[in-house]
Amino acid sequence: MEPFAYNALPGRFVFGRGTMSELGREITALGCTRALVLTTPGQAGMGERLVAQLGDLACGHFAGAAMHTPVEVTETAMAKVAETGADCVVAIGGGSTIGLGKAIALRTDLPQVVVPTTYAGSEATPVLGQTENGVKTIQRNMRVLPEVVVYDVELTLGLPVDVTVTSGLNAIAHSVEGLYSPDANPLTSLLAEDGIRALAGALPRLVADPTASGPRSDALYGAWACGVTLGVVGMALHHKLCHTLGGTFGLPHAATHSVILPHAMAYNARAASGAMARVARVLGVEQAPRGMWDLAKRLGAPMTLAELGMPREGIGRAVDLTMANPYWNPEPLDAHGLQKLLEAAWDGRPPEEMH
């Protein structure tokens, strides 16, 4: 066994069916009495129902969360925090709402209770991405790690198939990068493999029957496992590219992950051969990048950056931004290789090793 270090992240996770009913108890256990509920505009109805459920424990509802956590939206939400005298936030929804809760916590250190309704996984990480002036920046700060996460399988039963697929592939990306992170260790690698296994097994069943309770439970567990992996070990090229593309060109977060993942895997296939072998074994394929691309195609996921609205002439800018502030990556970054990667992703060609 090679030497390793493992830093467990603090936090409470509650998993099951009907666990939404326990939210009031979780809020009071934190010593809080004035919870501000956060949602996107599209989930405002869910937020209002939660406010009614919490009764006197809720002090208000902010329904303005937006993709990529724009700083101006956070500033508006901060005014709501001050107006209501909130002593905690309850974020219910996907990555956009969870990101807003984290942005508020960064500025106030208010406790967070998170109720994920997709497979985004950011609820399990001390990572916040914010967008300002068309540029998305990422920071790792323990102030943004939620104190309590409540997973309720019943909230995912109505998740549309397209969101199910893309957010599930987004979660798988967390584990793939976790397997070749310099901070990887035996514990996180086991969790990463199990998360990939759970999601890769559940997603095809959910495409066939979106309301199937068993696969929904498996997928939500997989999202948790992948999110915890990312939270402990950090990110590399795949996440850097997705954050750059999303923040700069306004591309949908989860769908961008589903397009980029096989190509980022191919870029790293030589330098991270051990990690790729583990992914291939879980997927039951010979080559992990092609196996991931085939899985995404079989699930009906978006396969090209073009269909997400990425202008082809923006590829050069994306390369420049990625090279200007690169993440650690097993394969050293070079502009020519990134150009080829993004061109293949824009065209929708199968992934090929870049070197």
Q: Which residues lie below 8 Å from residue 7, measured CB to CB, with a gap of 6+?
A: 232
What pLDDT is recorded for position 49? Answer: 96
Question: Please, what sign has the CA dihedral across residues 200, 309, 324, 243?
Answer: negative
**pLDDT per position in the chain (355 positions), as tens?**
677 787 888 889 999 999 999 999 999 999 999 999 999 999 999 999 999 999 999 999 999 999 889 999 999 999 999 999 999 999 999 999 999 999 999 999 999 999 999 998 889 999 998 988 888 888 889 999 999 999 999 999 999 999 999 999 999 999 999 999 999 999 999 999 999 999 999 999 999 999 999 999 999 999 999 999 998 988 889 988 998 998 899 999 899 999 999 999 999 999 999 999 999 999 999 999 999 999 999 999 999 999 999 999 999 999 999 998 878 899 999 999 999 999 999 999 999 866 5
Structural domains present in the chain = 12-156 (3.40.50.1970), 161-347 (1.20.1090.10)
| Per-residue pLDDT at 4 | 78
Query: What is the reported pLDDT for 8?
Result: 80
Q: What pLDDT is recorded for position 3?
A: 78
Q: How far apart are CA 330 and CA 313, in angstroms?
A: 28
Fill in the DSSP letter of residue 348.
T
In eight-state DSSP terms, residue 32 is -
C-beta separation of 269 from 288 below 8 A: yes
**Residues 6 or more apart from 267 whose CB is under 8 A from it?**
237, 331, 337, 338, 341, 353, 354
The pLDDT assigned to 243 comes to: 86
- Please give the C-alpha separations between residue 149 and each of 26, 63, 141, 224, 269, in angstroms, as whole numbers: 9, 20, 17, 10, 34
Q: pLDDT at position 5, please?
A: 81
The predicted-structure confidence for 180-238, as pLDDT tens digits, reads as follows 999 999 999 999 999 999 999 999 999 999 999 999 999 999 999 999 999 898 888 99
Task: Please give the structure tokens belonging to residue 73.
Answer: 């939206």
What pLDDT score was predicted for residue 326? 79
pLDDT at residue 121, as a whole number: 87
Whether 37 contacts 60, CB under 8 Å? yes
DSSP string, 128-175: EEEEETTEEEEEE-GGGS-SEEEEEGGGGTT--HHHHHHHHHHHHHHH
Q: How far apart are CA 46 and CA 50, in angstroms?
A: 6
pLDDT in tens, 251-284: 998 999 999 999 999 999 999 999 999 999 999 9
**Is the separation of the CB atoms in 119 and 220 below 8 Å?**
yes
**Cβ atoms within 10 A of the Cβ of 348, count?**
15
Q: Which candidate, 332, 334, 353, 335, places its Cα nearest to that of 344? A: 353
Question: How many residues would you count in the chain?
Answer: 355
